[in-house]
Amino acid sequence: MSTTSKRLRTLVATGAFATTVALVLAGCGARVGDDTGGGKSSARSCVDTSGSTVKLGFLNSLTGGMAISEKTVSNVLHMAADEINAAGGILGKKIQYVQEDGATDWPTFAEKTEKLLTQDCVGAIFGGWTSSSRKAVKPVVEKHNGLFFYPVQYEGLEASPNIYYTGATTNQQIIPAMDFLASKGVKKLFLAGSDYVFPRTANAIIKLYAAKLGIEIVGEEYVPLDKDDWTTQVAKIKAAKPDFIFNTINGSSNVGFIKAYYDAGLTAATTPIISVSIAEEEAPAMGHEVTGHYASWNYFQSLKTDTNQKFIDSWKAYPKSSGVTSDPMEAAYISLYLYKALVEAAGSFDVDAVNAAAKKNTITFAAPEGTVTLDGENHHISKPGNIGRINASNQFDIVWSSGTFIKPDPFLKGYDWFPANIRDQLVKAAG
């Protein structure tokens, strides 16, 4: 015993010494205040475009809870890549995509982003769904000066030189929905959402705008994302007697909400719901009980344009098809074509060249929702605001439209009801 403990002591001492030496040797990195420190200098891109292909990264949750929603987005990206390749590729180079699984785990999104950028050396990354996944990716793409294309509507109040947002920001989905409610003469509104960042932020904005519009918020309820039971909350909604419900629930929990709502005898005829996360993909899982309720999106499958018909036809013919098209799918489809347009305008896959091309504000794409224009300053795109009403075949009849394409305004600079002090702090916090 005594000899081994002596030996142990020697070993611990040696180990501690070796560790200290190693730490001292390594600890010569930059400290707070050293602006010259590493960081950016290590961010040299390793993208190889010398061959006949260009590598792109696709990143979505294919396993875990969010796979329910993200799988189709991932599949539509594959379709877009196949289409672009069939038409000759980007700058004559075929897309060779690397598919990664975010596994419904935000640190995994961060890890995979770094892998795609530094190990696979992809030109850009496409995907994500939840705001949390985007917020996990953001610092990594910024650090390595990569590109990330995010295809889902979100709560706004964000901008990054390394992220392009092809879904709606608040003033393209939430604000049109509120304008629609005001036009219907709604006086009492109830807010129901899942308990995470998008509904909380969206509702904070809704409350500010409702005050301006003279709409009273008669209640606000949140349920965890992974819980389906809404019965108690629906009882509260019923007791509050609102004219309309603003629904920011996401995922499977929506099914539970709609069922509990229907069970309680609340109908679309008396107290309709307007949703921002129920689209053509989600509605069928709720059967006929969701019929007659509304949703605010930019794209609907029922939009009558030639490009939309082409999009629907090619999706239906695609082997991994789910049969219907939806707004997030269309935004994902746009994202790949937008990247193609950006690269071709820049004449290069280089990130800084792409961003410089964006700055000219001339990038457009004839999307299924109409011709969208990229805003080079905030990296969002212009979109039409549409309100659809769910019909018996779980498709949407468009009942209201903003008419013109709405310019993206993620920080709500054009809206005087949004407090300037919040905006300033947010812009500062966003860097």
Partner 1 sequence: MTKLRPRLSLFGIGAFALLLLGVAPLLLTDHWLGNLGKYCCWAMAAVGIGLAWGRGGMLVMGQGVFFALGAYSMAMHLTLETAGDGVPGFMVLYDPLAPLPAFWEPFRSAAFTLLAIVLLPVIVAGLLGYALFKRRVKGAYFAILTQALAVALATLISSTIRETGGDTGLSDFKYFFGFVLDDPANRKLVYLITAALLVVCLLVVRQLYRSRFGELLVATRDAEERVRFLGYDPANVKLVAFVGAALMASIGGAMFVPIVGIITPAEIGAAASILMIAGVAFGGRASLFGPALGAMAVGWGQSSLGSTWPDGWTYIIGALFIVVILFLPNGLSSVLARFTAARRSPGEQPAAATATLQLEEAKS
Partner 2 sequence: MDALISPLLNGSAQGALLLLAALGLSLTFGQMGVINMAHGEFLMIGAFTAYLVQQVIGSSDLSIPVALPVAFVVAGLFGLLLEVSIIRWMYHRPLDTLLVTVGVGLILQQAALQIFPSQGVPVEKPGWLNGQVTVFGYDWPLRQVFTILLATVCVAALSVWLKSTAFGRRIRATVQNRDLAEVTGISTRTVDRLTFFVGSGLAGIAGVAASLIGGTNSQMGTQYIIPAFLVVAAGGIGQLKGTVVAAWAVGVVLSYFAYWTTGSLAQVLAFILVIVFLQLRPQGLFTVRTRSLV
Strand partners, 95: 54
**What angle do helix axes 253-263 and 231-240 make, rounded to 10 degrees?**
50
CB of 402 to partner 1, least distance (A): 25
- DSSP E strands, 332-382: 364-367, 370-373
Residues 264-283 that bind partner 2 (CB under 8 A): 264-265, 281-282
Residues 213-252 that bind partner 1 (CB under 8 A): 222, 224-225
CB of 80 to partner 2, least distance (A): 19
Within 282-419, where are the H helices?
306-317, 327-346, 351-359
What CA–CA distance (Å, rounded) separates 131 from 427? Answer: 17
Tokens read off for 363: 């990038």
What CA–CA distance (Å, rounded) separates 418 from 348? Answer: 39
CB of 245 to partner 2, least distance (A): 15
CB of 181 to partner 1, least distance (A): 22
Residues 189-208 that bind partner 2 (CB under 8 A): 195
> Are 124 and 58 in contact, with CB atoms under 8 Å apart?
no
Q: Does 106 bind partner 1 (CB under 8 A)?
A: yes
Count of other CB atoms within 10 angstroms of residue 149: 25
Between vectors from CA 162 to CA 158 and to CA 163, what angle results, nearest 5°? 50
CB of 36 to partner 2, least distance (A): 46
> Which position has the token pair 């994302």?
225
- DSSP E strands, 276-326: 294-297
Beta carbon nearer to partner 1, 179 or 195: 195
238 touches which of partner 2, partner 1, none (CB within 5 to 8 A by kind)? partner 2
40 touches which of partner 2, partner 1, none (CB within 5 to 8 A by kind)? partner 1
> Are 365 and 349 in contact, with CB atoms under 8 Å apart?
no
CB of 282 to partner 1, least distance (A): 20
Residues 172-201 that bind partner 1 (CB under 8 A): 195-197, 200-201
Q: Does 99 bind partner 1 (CB under 8 A)?
A: yes
Q: Residues 49, 85, 96, 231: which binds partner 2 (CB under 8 A)?
A: 231
**What angle do helix axes 131-143 and 197-213 make, rounded to 10 degrees?**
110
CB of 128 to partner 2, least distance (A): 17
**What angle do helix axes 327-346 and 67-86 make, rounded to 10 degrees?**
40
Q: Does 138 bind partner 1 (CB under 8 A)?
A: yes
CB of 178 to partner 1, least distance (A): 18
Q: Residues 76, 79, 136, 191: which binds partner 1 (CB under 8 A)?
A: 136
Q: Does 252 bind partner 2 (CB under 8 A)?
A: yes
Query: Strand, coil or helix: what is 191?
Result: strand
What CA–CA distance (Å, rounded) separates 333 from 337? Answer: 7
Beta carbon nearer to partner 2, 328 or 384: 328
Q: Does 78 bind partner 2 (CB under 8 A)?
A: no
Query: Strand, coil or helix: what is 10?
Result: helix
Per-residue buried b or exposed e for 250-286, using 16+ beta carbons within 10 Å of the residue's own CB: bbbbbbbbbbbbbeeebebeebbbbbbbbbbbbbeeb
- Please tell me the count of residues contacting partner 2 according to CB under 8 A: 43
CA 204, 210, 211, 216 torsion-angle sign: negative
Q: Does 239 bind partner 2 (CB under 8 A)?
A: yes
Q: Residues 13, 88, 119, 360: which binds partner 1 (CB under 8 A)?
A: 119
Q: Residues 72, 131, 162, 248: which binds partner 1 (CB under 8 A)?
A: 131
Instruction: Point out which residues bind partner 1 (CB under 8 A).
Output: 4, 7-8, 11-12, 15, 18-19, 22-23, 26-32, 34, 37-40, 42, 62-64, 99-101, 103-108, 110-112, 114-115, 118-119, 130-132, 135-136, 138-140, 143, 157, 195-197, 200-201, 204, 222, 224-225, 419, 421-422, 425-426, 428-430
Instruction: Point out which residues bind partner 2 (CB under 8 A).
Output: 63, 65, 67-69, 71-72, 195, 221-224, 226-229, 231-233, 235-236, 238-239, 252-256, 259-260, 262-265, 281-282, 284-289, 322
